[in-house]
Chain A
Amino acid sequence: MSQPEILNQAFELGYTYTRSTGPVVGRFLTGLKNRKLVGIKASDGRVIVPPMEYDPDTAEELSEFVDVGEQGEIVTFAWVKEPREAHPMNEPFAWAMIKLDGADVPMIHCVAAKSEGHVTSGARVRAVWADETIGFMTDIRCFELV
């Protein structure tokens, strides 16, 4: 039995979700819209950014919001030489875990930099806001080195 040619068809699956945020995520995203960053205090007092609804260790509901700075420090990073189509940056960039000033738990976002050599763990970065903020994670366009 001869194998016929392989038939391929490119296609795109779209899931056009609208998600309810709940009060905690909603508060953070509302902050982004107003170009402010807010975290929440965990049971042991650590400040988590972005805020979570509950404490992962104790399962306690969290409610004490804390303003944090828009600058912070890179905890660790990955250097992306060839950004993927879905990535938020078109030029080589870093993904980083960033501990914002006033926060104890790092958050993940992208960092714009000229080259890998410019980025180090411990480097200071600041949020770069999108031209228009709508209350979405991409309101922070990226972080940049200070």
Chain B
Amino acid sequence: MKEIAILGYQQSDSRSDAGAVNEVEMIMPVLERTFAQVGINNAQDVDFVCSGSCDYLQGAAFAFVAGVDALGAVPPIKESHVEMDAAWALHESMLKIRMGHADSALIYGFGKSSPGELPIVLSQQLDPYYLAPLWVDTISLAAMQARMMLDQGLITERDMAEVVSRSRRNAMNNPHAQLSGDVSVDDVLAQDTYVSPLRKGDCCPVSDGASAVVIATVEKAKEWGVPYALISGISHAIETHNMGMRDITDSVSTRIAAERAGMNAGKVDVAQLYAPFSHQEIILTRALGLGDETSINPSGGVLAGNLMMASGLSNIGEVFNRIVSGEAERGIAHATSGPCLQHNLVTVLETAEKA
């Protein structure tokens, strides 16, 4: 099987409101920087393109097709789309390469969540008979999950505030972050509750933005002569949509995905975990058995800016950045979808310098 590498990653600023910028105008600058990083002209220079987005976010039908106008798609290119975070578009692209149908791929994700009421829009991805008609929003679902953990003594509000404080401080080094600052645990705890037991700080912000990644076979990466990291494993797993039948204080599917992706075959220097709510970072850290040797969410994670349909891909890019810079040798990137960490994808990245 051909080894696959990641060669480039760029992200837009995470903004609470991208204003007049439409989807193609949001994607183009990110792709332009990605092409420049890898040394290619446009999407004509890769064998496959796959994107992740969700038209319901901005309520614009076929916004994902409008996004294709950012690619330079004449003459026609091989192109696909997932109505999911673009981390899953990267998964599809890896399968395409492994099947021998492509040697390189461009993956991008974008989300403009500001035009709608995101927690309510997302309520409509729930069971259409039993839950969607109640309009139970994503924040409330996460709040119930947090309460269950607090009640069972699995976490404290201080544990949650520590996650928020670390995110804000880490995000000070992330130029694209939406929320950052020298925020202490006590600062967070001083906030009033929002959807109790969650405080606003425990919840990711609503964000607009895009990110892009280029992957290729190692052969191709060497030909292009740019720094790269190896993608040594990728896997995803999903749990039942019936939240009452899940152990929502754990993330079984994340653990299964990580095992299948080969996370445990070596140390994990860095982990970018997609935790839209502070307590979910604790769930993920524990489910994966990560300890002090692992730097968790050095970018600030999605508490610092949650690009729906792109942040999972950005997590892969953030780990790539740290491996290529020599900061880390091996790391994992996590993406999630659905309420309370229902569906999870884990990617393992490693340095190409070894041996």
A and B co-occur in one complex:
yes
Q: Which residues of B contact A29 (CB under 8 A)?
A: 129
CB closest residue in chain B, given A24: B129
Inter-subunit contact B196/A78 (CB<8 Å): yes
Q: Which residues of B contact A50 (CB under 8 A)?
A: 129-130
A132: shortest Cβ distance to chain B, in Å?
16
Q: Does B28 contact A (CB under 8 A)?
A: no
Identify which of A13, A86, A138 contacts B120 (C-beta below 8 A).
Answer: A86
Q: How many residues of B contact A (CB 8 A)?
A: 37
Whether A48 touches B147, Cβ cut-off 8 Å, given contacts A13-B59, A78-B195, is no
User: How many cross-chain pairs have Cβ atoms below 8 Å apart between A and B?
Assistant: 105
Q: Does A109 contact B (CB under 8 A)?
A: yes
Whether A48 touches B245, Cβ cut-off 8 Å, given contacts A6-B19, A56-B240, A78-B195, is yes
Inter-subunit contact B117/A84 (CB<8 Å): yes
Inter-subunit contact A77/B135 (CB<8 Å): no
Q: Does B338 contact A (CB under 8 A)?
A: no
Q: Does A66 contact B (CB under 8 A)?
A: no
Interface centre among B20, B133, B140, B141 (most CB of A within 10 A): B140
CA distance A17 to B137 in the complex (A): 20
Inter-subunit contact A48/B244 (CB<8 Å): yes
Q: Does B128 contact A (CB under 8 A)?
A: yes
Whether A86 touches B135, Cβ cut-off 8 Å, given contacts A56-B245, A97-B244, is yes
Inter-subunit contact B245/A109 (CB<8 Å): no
CB closest residue in chain A, given B139: A78
Q: How many residues of A contact B (CB 8 A)?
A: 39
Q: Does B102 contact A (CB under 8 A)?
A: no
CA distance A75 to B249 in the complex (A): 13
Identify which of A76, A79, A88, A107 contacts B195 (C-beta below 8 A).
Answer: A79
Inter-subunit contact B130/A76 (CB<8 Å): no
Q: Does A81 contact B (CB under 8 A)?
A: yes
Whether A78 touches B243, Cβ cut-off 8 Å, given contacts A86-B123, A108-B131, A138-B134, is no
A49: shortest Cβ distance to chain B, in Å?
8
Query: B1-35 toward A: CB 8 Å interface, digit per residue (1/0)?
Result: 00000000000000000011000000000000000
Identify which of A3, A48, A79 contacts B242 (C-beta below 8 A).
Answer: A48
Q: Which residues of A contact B119 (CB under 8 A)?
A: 84
- Give chain B interface residues in 109-134, CB to chain A under 8 Å: 117, 119-120, 123, 128-131, 133-134
CA distance A14 to B145 in the complex (A): 31
Q: Does B136 contact A (CB under 8 A)?
A: yes
CA distance A80 to B193 in the complex (A): 10
- 16 chain-A/chain-B pairs, Cβ below 8 angstroms: A6-B19, A7-B20, A11-B59, A17-B128, A21-B129, A48-B244, A78-B140, A78-B198, A81-B193, A81-B195, A81-B196, A86-B117, A87-B137, A97-B144, A137-B129, A137-B131
Interchain residue pairs A-B with the least CB separation, the first 9: A78-B143, A56-B240, A79-B196, A86-B135, A76-B148, A105-B244, A106-B244, A78-B140, A95-B140
